[in-house]
A and B are shown apart, each in its own frame.
Chain A
Amino acid sequence: MSRQDEDERSRVSDSQSNPNMDVTDAVIEVRGVHYAIGDRPIFDGLDLTVKRGLITAVMGPSGTGKTTLLRLITGEIYAGRGRVAVFGRDIGTLTTRELYATRRRMGVLFQNGALLTDLNVYENVAFPVREHTDLPEPLIHKLVLTKLEAVGLRGAAELMPAELSGGMARRVALARAIVTDPEILIYDEPFVGLDPISLGVILRLVKQMNDALKITSVVVSHDVHEIATIADYSYLLSEGKVVASGTPTELASSDSATVRQFMTGGAEGPVRFHYPAPDYAEQLMEVSR
């Protein structure tokens, strides 16, 4: 990372200390997290904070560990070093019962939807309600229809997951994620593969839920321009660390080479596009020999 990037990072990150972002409002705190898959380090001292009631975007090139971060937050995996705290409690120290109690306060939208393939759309949305509550059937019916209406798929209630397009499956998964009215909603690449109409609807939904229900949202995405329209605060990850953070406006006006490369989609810059490899010409010569 260049000195310019370091300076930029500290300058932009200073905005975290503004009065509107009191540290006591932190719902998710990631402090000094190290995580590796085998010998390959994914995070090398990651720090970030998600504040209550805000939409926080986590951006970064593919392979920077954005989805891994979500798995650390939901307690699917644990940090090798450092601390991931959700609702003030270190997720790594929770018992299974406590972890499940914490997860009930979260909703997660998976990248591929992860709908249960043996249940139809209606039953998929009703699934967490049936599992965690003893609500009467008429109430579950109303609840499910309300959420399906919100994502525009009330008419698809009887369809099976195999009959849905990728975008529709994502919208059903969103309905399922919000059906229990969670306090935190985590979105893993919610805009990938959506048509412009669905994308607009999902964007508005994320914003509306955040505004109306005061849901804290964490959106992992590399759709820079879409996420900039709704995010209150953004983190840019690269090479296992936060390389920049701030409001979308701050990031857009950043002088950092890393931020600019990511925002403009340049192949050349501090974030390498190519996976480490031996010299190209030399390798070609080896083949011809």
Chain B
Amino acid sequence: MSNGAQEGVLELVRKTGETGIFFVRLLGACIPALGRPRLIIAQIYNAGARSLIIIMLSGLFTGMVLGLQFYDVLNRFGATEALGTAVALALLKELGPVLTALLFAGRAGTALTSEIGLMRATDQLTAMDVMAVDPIRHVAAPRFLGGLIAVPLLTAIFTVVGLFGAQLIGVQFLGVDHGIFWSQAQSAVALKDVTEGVVKSIVFGAVVSLIAVNEGYHSEPTAEGIGRATTRTVVASSVMILLLDYVLTAVFL
């Protein structure tokens, strides 16, 4: 193995170990952090409520596109009444959790990374540490929990808005019967499908929040360092979401 490859492997092992240790410390800090709900609520607002518009708009357009595409495919088989089923399952099981997590990584994950990175660069984390206040408990844990809670809620909103977007196209513009659309959607969706979506959204929320907080916490305290950490958050989150999506889909099938 060449020197460059060896260094690359060592760096990967170091990074994985660092993230693992950080994750264990973070989990340990989550329990006392739960005793400070005000900090967590503030982070749900920052990461979640402030992502609402982008999530709702994306959900609406995703649903509208699904309405058009599924209608086109189903129409070829004369099965347009199955539009509600197709859209509901696609949004619940797949597109809702995945797209919400990707959007969350781009909107809130980057904000988390740069915020914590800037706190590192301006000695705020050091100041807390020196004041005997654990920055992981006070800064990282509330943000991690905020993201963990916000992503499933945003996913639910994305899915609901997406369904209405598909209904708008399918029923209002393409003439699918309103009653059939909703009854098909309702009857085809089983608890297992909802569970799959919920589990995915929780896992994605945990992974994106962990990556964002970890990258910010360990970022180099310079403008370039914070920029690189922010980029890594988006790239690593996106890859992990798609990889875990495959794993979880395989598990649930």
Contacts and interface: CB of A to CB of B under 8 A. Distances in A.
B132 A104 contact: yes
A229 interface: no
Interface stretch (B78-86, B121-129, B200-208, B209-217): B121-129
A110 B127 contact: yes
A103 B128 CA distance: 11
Contacts of A114: 122-124, 126-127
B130 interface: yes
B130 A108 contact: yes
B132 A74 contact: no
A76 B126 contact: yes
B130 A76 contact: yes
Contact of A128 (B118, B119, B129, B131): B131
A110 B131 contact: no
Nearest to A96: B134
Interface in B96-141: 118-119, 122-124, 126-134, 138
A131 B126 contact: no
Give chain A's interface residue range (CB within 8 Å of chain B): 10 to 19
A106 interface: yes
A127 interface: yes
Contact of B123 (A103, A110, A128): A110
Nearest to A75: B130
A264 interface: no
Contacts of A132: 132
A100 interface: yes
Interface in A80-121: 100-101, 103-104, 106, 108, 110, 112, 114-117
A112 B132 contact: no
Nearest to B46: A118
Main secondary structure of the interface of B (DSSP, over half): helix
B126 A103 contact: no
Contacts of A110: 123, 126-127
A112 B118 CA distance: 14
B130 A117 contact: no
A100 B127 contact: no
B122 A112 contact: yes
Contacts of A76: 126, 129-130
Contacts of B123: 110, 112, 114
A234 to B, nearest CB: 24
A108 B124 CA distance: 12
B131 A117 contact: no
Contact of B132 (A103, A115, A116, A117): A103
Contacts of B128: 116
Interface string B40-79: 0000000000000000000000000000000000000000
B130 A131 contact: no
Contacts of A128: 131-133
B36 to A, nearest CB: 10
Contact of A106 (B118, B122, B124, B130): B130
B22 to A, nearest CB: 15
Contacts of B127: 108, 110, 114-116
Nearest to A188: B123
Nearest to A100: B132
B130 A103 contact: yes
Nearest to A182: B131
B216 to A, nearest CB: 14
B108 to A, nearest CB: 16
Contacts of B130: 74, 76, 103, 106, 108
Nearest to B128: A116
B137 to A, nearest CB: 10
A175 to B, nearest CB: 13
A225 to B, nearest CB: 27
Contacts of A131: 131-133, 138
A66 to B, nearest CB: 16
Nearest to B129: A76
Contacts of A117: 118-119, 122, 124
A100 B133 CA distance: 8
25 contacts: A74-B130, A100-B132, A100-B134, A101-B132, A103-B132, A106-B130, A108-B130, A108-B131, A110-B123, A110-B126, A112-B122, A114-B122, A116-B124, A116-B127, A116-B128, A117-B118, A117-B122, A117-B124, A127-B131, A128-B131, A128-B132, A128-B133, A131-B131, A131-B132, A131-B133
Pairs of residues from A and B, 10 with the lowest C-beta to C-beta distance, nearest first? A114-B127, A114-B123, A100-B132, A103-B132, A104-B132, A108-B130, A128-B131, A131-B133, A74-B130, A110-B123
Given A76-B126, A108-B131, 17 more contacts: A74-B130, A76-B129, A100-B134, A101-B132, A103-B129, A103-B130, A103-B132, A114-B122, A114-B123, A114-B124, A116-B124, A116-B128, A127-B131, A128-B131, A128-B132, A131-B132, A131-B133
